[in-house]
Amino acid sequence: MSDYRTDIDFATDMDRADALKDYRDRFYVPQTKDGEACIYLCGNSLGLQPKTVADALTQELEDWKTLGVEGHFHAKNPWLPYHEFLTEQQARLVGAKPAEVVAMNSLTVNLHLMMVSFYRPTPDKYKILIEGGAFPSDRYAVASQLRFHGFDPADGLLELKPRDGEAALRQEDIEDFIAKEGDAIALILIGGVNYYTGQLFDMKRITQAGHDKGCVVGFDLAHATGNVPMRLHDWGVDFACWCSYKYLNAGPGSVAGCFVHEKHGDNPDLPRFGGWWGHDKETRFKMGPDFDAIRGAEGWQLSNPPILSLAAVKASLDIFDEVGIDALHAKSMHLTGYMEFLLDALDSAAFSVMTPRDPEARGAQLSIVVHEGGRQVFDALTEQGVVCDWREPDCIRVAPVPLYNTFTDVHEFVRIFAEQIGNAEQKAEAM
């Protein structure tokens, strides 16, 4: 949309016309010490609490209180199959078949479990390719997997770096690299949306490029799930993992999600770490000695899951399912595009946006590099009720989330930000 305007009336008009505006009321928005709603732009780190979560947890606590162990079978939402209640909604969110997804564990744990099955190095094909500047946990995980298999990360870990002077990777550079080095690469593991730059990768093309060279291709979707639409099944992605506490609003440390493409899920002989919750449901309670994996992603489960956490994930997925990721994404493009427009209108050399300008190459997040005194700018934003986050050495990440952020939030944020950016003061006054 090119006809954005900088005046506040434009923001209030956009909010009034927003078909999704009522969803904001479904969430608790933290308040400043003066009792005003914060400008919460941190849903890429921890999403807000849906108001339905408390009731969802209370239901399980009540059933536990009144039924004890019988809750496994007779709770309103029986605990034995509880994770299955999330399956269809999760599948819709990431573009998967139901049998390809499961809610389990947490993100880094799932990355390791996936690598047990999908990082199968040989003496000639053993390298792992990640994006430069990947989330540290991913880097630690792949480096430890390399060492675990007897390889030195200094040789076996490949990191795609952007060109000099550029913050984002170019798609053609990614594909060229895979074409050139792919014969030695066993696994490609990329963040669907990079946590730092906010770059959204073309997962379909990366998967294709990897498969052309016989590599397994997986994605860390921590910053992509609930943020951008995906078609993991159609793209042929081998596996993917995501957390549920960012855009998915399911609460700190809540149960994560995992995708295993059906071409692998239907293969019970694929090496994996076993646990009783991944064992065939018909015979699980016969307590036999031999592991018989459930077909599909469920076959990677280890333990019976934490129901209280799953209840929060379910409450959140209910909202996503009601709105639909396509409608959310359509609003998200407007909100983030509007923020970009307002930032550009400041016409300031004091900062730059490192996130790709192409709306197809990003999600909700913009990463703003403040060239001098960024930490002070961030502290001043915090002081004035803006919740965003600071990433060393000079980056402020902001994510207007379409479920609960407004155009007015975005306008307020840029107005306050502009006040802090010395040479843009006059522009700020004009807003």
Ligand X SMILES: Cc1ncc(COP(=O)(O)O)c(C=O)c1O
Residues contributing to the site for ligand X (CB under 6 A): 106-108, 135, 137-138, 191, 195, 220, 222-223, 243
Nearer to ligand X, 24 or 246 (CB): 246
CA distance 356 to 375: 23
Nearer to ligand X, 75 or 388 (CB): 388
Rounded to a whole number of angstroms, the minimum distance from the CB of residue 250 to ligand X is 11
Rounded to a whole number of angstroms, the minimum distance from the CB of residue 291 to ligand X is 25
Q: How far is CA 44 from CA 169, 367, 387, in A?
A: 21, 11, 11
Rounded to a whole number of angstroms, the minimum distance from the CB of residue 33 to ligand X is 27
Nearer to ligand X, 202 or 419 (CB): 202
CA distance 262 to 259: 9
Q: DSSP assignment, residue 140?
A: H
Residue with tokens 């993917």: 240
Rounded to a whole number of angstroms, the minimum distance from the CB of residue 46 to ligand X is 9
Nearer to ligand X, 133 or 265 (CB): 133
Which single residue brings its beta carbon nearest to ligand X? 108
Burial 356-380 (b: 16+ CB within 10 A, else e): beebebbbbbbbbbbeeebeebbee
Rounded to a whole number of angstroms, the minimum distance from the CB of residue 364 to ligand X is 14
Nearer to ligand X, 46 or 323 (CB): 46
Rounded to a whole number of angstroms, the minimum distance from the CB of residue 369 to ligand X is 19
Is 86 within 8 Å of 310 (Cβ atoms)? yes
Is 386 within 8 Å of 418 (Cβ atoms)? no
Is 13 within 8 Å of 213 (Cβ atoms)? no
Nearer to ligand X, 117 or 309 (CB): 309
Is 59 within 8 Å of 262 (Cβ atoms)? no
Phi, psi (deg, nearest 5) at residue 369: -90, 120
Tokens of 306: 């934490």
